Amino acid sequence: MPLACRTSGLDLGLYVLERELGPRIAHAVEELFAYERRGTVWRAQGPAPATL
């Protein structure tokens, strides 16, 4: 599977997370995956992620 397909899948998943659960949760998942979306604009909105 080409790298572009995998990263676009991650981008889509993070977009859905941000839309449904808020940008803080999506950002926490980005950090967990060590992944950074292109064109990401950080917004401190939504619930804070729970710590593990």
Task: Per residue of the chain (52 residues), give pLDDT as tens.
Answer: 566 666 778 888 998 999 999 988 988 998 998 887 776 566 677 777 787 6
At what angle are helices 3-21 and 23-33 packed, to 10 degrees?
150
Contact indicator for 17, 25 with CB cutoff of 8 Å: yes
Q: Is the dihedral of CA 1, 25, 51, 31 positive or negative?
A: positive
Residue 52 forms part of a structural domain: no
**pTM passes above 0.95:** no
Q: Is the dihedral of CA 46, 27, 49, 18 positive or negative?
A: positive
- The domain tally of the chain equals 1
Structural domain including 12 reads 3-33
**pLDDT at position 34:** 87
**pLDDT at position 4:** 60
Residue 8 forms part of a structural domain: yes
Residue 29 forms part of a structural domain: yes
Residue 20 forms part of a structural domain: yes
| 13 conformational bin, left if phi > 0, alpha if psi -120 to 50, beta if neither | alpha
Residue 10 forms part of a structural domain: yes
**pLDDT at position 38:** 72
